[in-house]
Amino acid sequence: YEIRLSLVGSEMCIRDRVSTQSTGKFDLFVLPEGVKKVELQKDTKIQNAALFTVQKEDHTVGNLIRMQLHRDPEVLFAGYRMPHPLEHKIVVKVQTTPNSEPKRAFNKALTELISELSMIEDKFKVLFYYSLHHSPFLPL
C-alpha cells in the first residue's frame, strides 16, 4: 500500500497505487489530453472573487482547500461545490479583501497544505520505522 503526494505547478493530488491498478480507475485522476488541472475564472459580479475549477478531485481535497483558505485573514469567503456527483471536479469560490487577490490566496493555501501534508508524511514515516525496529510502545 503506497500513498504518494505530488505537486506540479499549483496542483495537489493524492494517489493510491493499489486502487489504480485495476482498469477504469485511471479515469478518476488522469487528465485527458489538453485539460488543465486548475482553471481560474474571475467572478464578474463580486469584486476580488474568483472561481477555481479543479479537475479530477472530490470532497476530500475540496474541504481541505476550503479550510486552509479560511485560515487566511485576507480571505473573506471560501467555499466549494461539486457540480454533479458523476463529474470528478470541484469548483472553489474565493473572495479576498482589496489588499489581496484570489489567485494569490489559492496558491498560498495549496502551498501551505502541501507543506502540512509533507510534515505529516515525515512524522508517519518516522513512527512507522520506529515501530518496525523497536517495541510496539512509543516512548513518551
Q: What is the DSSP string of 2-69?
A: -EEEEEETTEEEEEETTTTSSTTGGGGTPPPTT--SEEEEE-SSSTTEEEEEEET--HHHHHHHHHHH
* Per-residue pLDDT at 76: 98
pTM of the model: 0.74
- Residues 2-21 have pLDDT tens digits of 334 444 444 444 444 444 44
Q: Which has the closest alpha carbon to 39: 64, 9, 1? A: 9
Query: Mean pLDDT score of the chain, rounded to an integer?
Result: 83
* Per-residue pLDDT at 131: 77
